[in-house]
Structure 1
């Protein structure tokens, strides 16, 4: 069901709406002067909603995602549009990239779902593959989002509109907060008639200052803080914010 959620323009669950993505790419084109000479890589590219737009600018574009269905869709979509995009089906934590890039993106708050060690790995990878004037764009959940998160227990039939399975199931989610670490956990138990499994969704929440600390540990620094990856002004009490990182 993940691919369907990526492509559903009515919700912002797995991907942003198309209008926002258009605004976001236009902003990045202007902000980073993207052109036919630019090299761009999108980590967690999904079905290519950003990468296809970057490619239409003439940039050399790479996209990495672990989902076979999303990558297959992205490749077919690029073929339909006669776009040249290099798609890589891989776990971006393990994949060894080649070359340097003028723009590195990690969008939809993917950074928040990584452990501290994984975030350090990704930032080191980003720093290693930046061109001399390269920049990184990523977005994260803020402490306002953490404050709005509530602990609780919920059980629903076909939870999240059938997201977890094409078969009938009950979804149980237990939500926990860890105030000292500013981390939340949604533990899902998915129960079908003949099987069940668990999913642990951890999220780290940030301030610009705590994100700056992690960036500096990887040899990076925050150049700008924005409200989102479309360049909106930063608002301190919003639930998300975005940063542009560069080499320190």
Structure 2
């Protein structure tokens, strides 16, 4: 017999939620899913969490040759398992990595220790940081800014600005509506014996919602014998016009706009916009 309570929970979760409603499960703190996320991050051939190793290498090459000053201090926000930080440290930069995931930070610390790399890693919510003009460069790579509400984004830009020395650089990228058109809105369901969400039999219902101003939600309802949980991934895509206005109104000036952080030229149909900005 079908459990009516489970059906009612699924029905409730299936309704279109209010904008940036984040009352849901947390993929970074739930142990099983957090371990799955770490595996995805460190897979060199998978770009669902971190970018593939070949792209990371090209990014580091471009930044160190064309953007970063030698021996400068870098704050990496959302550093994950330290894939960029290790390569920057190896090239002589002073690196501090911040991430909300304790799994990622522990992995990064252990990896750096094994290689004898002097990288400062901290498990922290970067919305709570209070650095004051300590870094030459702040970077946040792979579109985490896309997951912020407008108020979170404003707070984040202010934290970055406070963290930077005068004329310091802010390096980041955001996805565009072109990428969402390619991915589409999720609408799928499946039953798995084990997988990303659970290590035992479970049901996953995927659905997507579109909102005004290029805002999207990818939602996953997961049901097993322990109950029902919903997970939400919010995305706010940007155009050159919208992100440029936000940057300039946040106390930065734009130094360069690219198609990605490997140095590719921005095109009309680019899936990403990479920004090199400077603190005014």
**Which of the residues 159, 178, 187 maps onto 1:153?**
187
Is 1:182–1:204's contact at 8 Å kept on the other side of the alignment? yes
From 63, 70, 87, the counterpart of 1:28 = 63
Structure 2's unaligned 5+ residue stretches are 1-35
Shift of 1:98: 5.1
Q: C-alpha displacement at 1:149, in angstroms?
A: 4.6
Asked if 1:172 is matched to 2:231, the reply is: no
Q: 1:79, 1:43 → 2: CA distance?
A: 20
Counterpart of 1:186 (choices 212, 215, 218) is: 218
- Counterpart among 17, 21, 41 of residue 6 in structure 1: 41
Q: Distance in 1 between matches of 2:198 and 2:129?
A: 28
Of stretches 70-79 and 149-158 in structure 1, the one that deviates more from structure 2 is: 149-158
Report if aligned partners of 1:146, 1:182 keep a CA contact under 8 Å in 2. Answer: no
Report if aligned partners of 2:45, 2:53 keep a CA contact under 8 Å in 1.
no
Asked if the contact 2:170–2:279 (Cα under 8 Å) also holds between the matched residues in 1, the reply is no
Does the C-alpha gap of structure 1 residues 127 and 99 become closer, same or farther in structure 2, counting only changes over 3 Å?
A: closer
Superposed, 1:214-229 pairs within 5 Å as: 214-229=246-261
Structure 1 position 46 matched with structure 2 position 80: yes
Question: Displaced runs of 4+ in structure 1, greater than 6 A?
Answer: none
Distance 1:158 1:91, change over 3 A: farther
Q: Deviations over 1:6-30 (max 9, x none)?
A: 0111211000111111111111111
Larger Rg: 2
**Equivalent position SS for 1:242:** strand
Q: 1:121 to 1:95 in 2, by over 3 A?
A: same
* TM-score w.r.t. length of structure 2: 0.83
| Structure 1 residue 166, shift from structure 2 partner | 2.6
How many residue pairs were aligned? 245
Q: Counterparts of 1:5 and 1:158 in 2: how far apart (Å)?
A: 18
Tell me the C-alpha RMSD between the 2 structures. 1.7
Q: 1:98 to 1:166 in 2, by over 3 A?
A: farther
The CA deviation at 1:52 is: 0.8
CA distance 1:22–1:192, change in 2 (3 Å):
same
